Amino acid sequence: MVEKSRTLVLKRGFVLAALLVAGAVLAAIGAAQQTPSAASIQVDKVGDNLYVLRGGGGNTAAFITAKGVTLVDAKLPGWGKPILEKLKEITEKPVTMIINTHTHFDHVGGNVEFPATVDVVTHENTANLMREMRPVTGGPEQPNVFKEKNGLGLPNRTFKDRMTLGNGDERIELYYFGRAHTGGDAWVVFPALRAMHSGDAFAIKNLPLIDANNGGSGVEYPKTIAKAAAALKNIDTIITGHNPTTLTIADLKTYADFTREFVQTVQAAKKAGRTIDDVVNSWKVPERFQKDGYPTPEQIQEILRYPVAAQTARLRSNVEVIWNETK
Ligand SMILES: [Zn+2]
């Protein structure tokens, strides 16, 4: 029995660690070293006319409508053309719209490889951030592919709280629930398919990347996730920013708890007069979340050779952000 449960934990750990490495910007660097090609993109069918394209950065959703294809996110720079090539295996329709979930280059980099006629839709804050492509908190500089292309691929339609695109079975609902991963995280819902794309606000089952430099907030993070989980009804399937499988609303609720506990731990430490080092050295993935598939840094290192030190750097960056936001 003990052996069996250990195998289970490791299996789960593997899946979740795979996402962590694929996860967020750190893994985007890994993916950037991969040569962009359609062959490196894996297609998973989510519903009748909804697919996920994996590889080359964040997960891309492809929603096939009568008029054309709406993409959610366009991967790293260099991966726009491979997306287009891969789409030919699914449909002959052209890409007519890209919705970007947020400003990170592993989600928007491919935008510039699509024709200027393609509509680009984002939250209004993301539209502003994409013009700047500021460095990521605790993470890399971001290439400004838009500047290099004289603004090609920048958003031409924005929303503030909510926006409806299309109608009938082709309706898409965009929501903004507040700051989390960045200051412009869009939640993209496909009501007819009971599915959504959560971007990196919910990227993987692990610590978030809180990109304060691009408007993200540690203190607001769990509130935003809880708001989304409560408001978004009739959804069975979540395409997350980087997970190799789809997740559920139950997973999103657990993520709200996970991020809330993390924020509370950091805030309690500050109020008790402890130090940032202290928190970084003592924080562990709480056991109940480990049971729910949140891997430990050691499991991630063991299986994927993704160094614990790099994971600790992420942890430290997050603790600093929350520390600075806590009076
Ligand atoms: Zn991101």
pLDDT tens readout for residues 174-229: 999 999 999 999 999 999 999 999 999 999 999 999 999 999 999 999 999 999 99
pLDDT at 7: 40
- Tens of pLDDT, residue by residue over 155-166, are 999 999 999 999
- Cα 198 to averaged position of ligand 1 atoms, centre (Å): 11
Q: What's the pLDDT score for residue 33?
A: 62
Q: Distance, CA 169 to ligand 1 centroid (Å)? A: 29
Environment of ion ligand 1 (residues, CB < 5 A): 104, 200
| pLDDT for position 272 | 97
The pTM of the full predicted model, rounded to 2 decimals, is: 0.91
pLDDT at 306: 79
Q: Are 121 and 174 in contact (CB under 8 A)?
A: yes
The pLDDT value recorded for residue 313 is 94
Q: How many C-beta neighbours within 10 Å does residue 92 have?
A: 7
Spans of the chain, pLDDT less than 50 = 1-32
C-alpha of residue 128 to centroid of ligand 1, in Å: 16
